[in-house]
A and B are shown apart, each in its own frame.
Chain A
C-alpha cells in the first residue's frame, strides 16, 4: 500500500499540519484515536465536518458564527459607538471574558505582515471601514503587542482619522512578547482601562 493511502499515515500527516503539533504528537493523537472507543473518532469526524459547513463569517464584524449577524452584533444592549478591533476570534473571546467591554467587535483575521506576504487586501479592513458611517466614535485596536500588531494599529489609525473616529490602543499591562489570548483577565482589564490615543 502506498503511504498516501495508508489511513494511519494520512491521519498522522493531517494532525501534524495543525499549529503546535509536531510529528511525535501527531502520532500519539492518531494512536489515541485508534485505541479509544469508536465513538471518539465518530464525534471528532462529524464535529470537524460540521464546523466547516455551519460556521461562517458574520457579515457585520467578520466574527466566526453560526447565526448571521453574530450574537455580539445582534445584542441590542451593546454600545454602537465603540468598536474593539482584534486580530482573531480567540482575541475577541479573551476580551469578552473580562466582562468589561460592552461595545462591538471587529475581527481582522490577521495583521499586516510583509514578511509573511500579508497586506491590507488579505485582512477584513474594507469591512471595517464600511462600518464607520458616523455612529462609531472610537476604535480600540487590540492587536497583539508585536511588531506586526503595532504597525497594523498605526495603519488603522491613519485610515480611520478621515472618518472623525478616535483610535486608541490597549498597551499597558499586556506583557511584551505575549499573545493576547494568553493574557490573564486582570491584565487585560487593566490594559483596556489604560488604553491610549495612537
Chain B
C-alpha cells in the first residue's frame, strides 16, 4: 500500500500541504522546528486515528484555526481508497471513501510503522513505553486491539474510582468482570503477537550484529493466566482499596529483552541497545509484510542521527530491500543512503514543497 496524494489543512504548523509522494522514498528535509515531525504525525493520525504526541485533539489544530483535516488517496491491492480524518466543532470525524466511518470500518486501507528518536531509548525506557510499542505493533495486525486496550483502560480507571469512593462490592465486582474480559483479550492478543514476533526479531538482530551474540524478546505479563484475572482482583480488592489503585494486570505487562540470556535493560551497551531497537523495528515490519501480507508505510523521524554510523548503514540496507513506501525526515541529508526512487520535499515554516532538482 502507498499514498498517491496527501492533503493537510491547519494541522499543527502546516497550514496547507498538497503532496504527491513517490511510491518508494520521500525525504522531508529542513531545519529544526519547521514542521517535519508534524507531517509524520499527520500521517500517523490518519492511519491510526490516534495522535502520536499530543494528549488532546485541540493541540493538533493550528493555532487560530477552528479545525483541521488530513486526507489521502491510498493504493492498496490495486484499489484506490480515500481516507480523511478531521476535527471540526471540537469533534473528530473519520471518513472512508467520503463517508463517515466507525473505527472498525475505517481501518484496513492504511497501516503505518513509525520509528522516532524516542524509540531509540526503548531498551532502557519504562515498561509503559515498551507496552506502547507492543500495542502499536499488535494493532497493525489486529485493529480491534485498539478497542480492547481502550475498554481495558476505561474499566481500569472505573475500578480505581470505585475503590477510592468505597463503592459497594456488587458494583466493584461488575466492573472487575468487565475488566477481566477486556484484559483477557488484550493479553491474548499480545501473547500471540509476540509468539510470531520473537523468532523474526532474533533473526533480524543476527542480521545486524552477526551470529556471535544472541538476542531474545519475551512477553512478560503481570499476571500469567488471563483466566485468573477476576479472582485475583477480587482477592486484591482490600489492598488495592488502600493503595488507591489496581496493582496487577495487563496495565503492568512488559516486553523483556535479553542479550545472551541477560537483561538488556541492565547490561546492554549503548551500541547494543541501538541494535536491539533497530531489530525490534525491522521485525515489526517483517511480521507485517511476511506473515500478515501487508506492506506498511514507514515513517522515520530523523532516526539516523540517533543511531551510530554502523547501525545507520544497516537501517538503509534494510530500507533498500523493503518494497514499500517510506517517509523519512532529516536535518542533514548527509545521513541518507538513497540514490534512486527518491522524491525530496523541503520543509520550512510549515510550507512543504518539492525540492529543486528532485526526481
Residues in chain A within 8 A of chain B (CB atoms): 22-25, 112-115, 119-120, 146-148, 150-152, 154-155, 158-159, 175-178
Q: What residues of chain B lie closer than 8 Å to A23, measured between beta carbons? A: 89
Beta-carbon nearest neighbor of B157 in chain A? A115
Given A114-B167, A176-B104: A155 touches B174 (CB 8 Å cut-off): yes
A147 near B89: Cβ-Cβ < 8 Å? no
Q: Sample 15 A-B pairs with CB under 8 A, ordered by A number.
A: A112-B171, A114-B157, A114-B158, A114-B161, A114-B171, A115-B161, A119-B167, A147-B158, A147-B182, A151-B171, A151-B178, A152-B174, A155-B170, A155-B174, A177-B104
- In the complex, A22→B66 CA distance in Å? 12
8 Å CB contact of B174 from A22, A25, A151, A175: A151
With A154-B178, A176-B147 given, can you name 9 additional A-B contacts, CB distance below 8 Å?
A22-B91, A23-B89, A112-B175, A114-B158, A115-B158, A147-B151, A150-B178, A158-B170, A178-B102
| Chain B residues with a Cβ closer than 8 Å to the other chain, count | 29
Is the contact region of chain A dominated by helix, strand, or loop, or is it mixed?
helix
- In the complex, A176→B159 CA distance in Å? 22
A132 to chain B, nearest CB (A): 16
Beta-carbon nearest neighbor of B165 in chain A? A114
B139 to chain A, nearest CB (A): 15
Q: What residues of chain B lie closer than 8 Å to A148, measured between beta carbons? A: 158
Q: What residues of chain B lie closer than 8 Å to A150, measured between beta carbons? A: 178, 181
- In the complex, A116→B181 CA distance in Å? 21
B158 near A151: Cβ-Cβ < 8 Å? yes
Q: What residues of chain B lie closer than 8 Å to A119, measured between beta carbons? A: 167, 171
8 Å CB contact of B171 from A120, A175, A177, A178: A120
- In the complex, A113→B170 CA distance in Å? 14
- In the complex, A120→B175 CA distance in Å? 13
A22 near B161: Cβ-Cβ < 8 Å? no
- In the complex, A119→B167 CA distance in Å? 9
Tell whether B103 is near chain A: CB-to-CB under 8 Å: yes
Tell whether B243 is near chain A: CB-to-CB under 8 Å: no
Beta-carbon nearest neighbor of A157 in chain B? B174
Q: State which residues 154-171 of B face A: CB under 8 Å.
A: 154-155, 157-159, 161-162, 165, 167-168, 170-171
8 Å CB contact of B90 from A22, A113, A175: A22
A181 to chain B, nearest CB (A): 14
Tell whether B240 is near chain A: CB-to-CB under 8 Å: no
8 Å CB contact of B89 from A25, A115, A146, A152: A25
A54 to chain B, nearest CB (A): 33
A158 near B89: Cβ-Cβ < 8 Å? no
Q: What residues of chain B lie closer than 8 Å to A113, measured between beta carbons? A: 158
Tell whether B34 is near chain A: CB-to-CB under 8 Å: no
Tell whether B177 is near chain A: CB-to-CB under 8 Å: yes
Q: What residues of chain B lie closer than 8 Å to A146, measured between beta carbons? A: 151
B91 near A175: Cβ-Cβ < 8 Å? no
B174 near A158: Cβ-Cβ < 8 Å? yes
Tell whether B256 is near chain A: CB-to-CB under 8 Å: no
**Proximity string of chain B (264-280) to chain A, C-beta cutoff 8 Å, 1 when within and 0 when not:** 00000000000000000
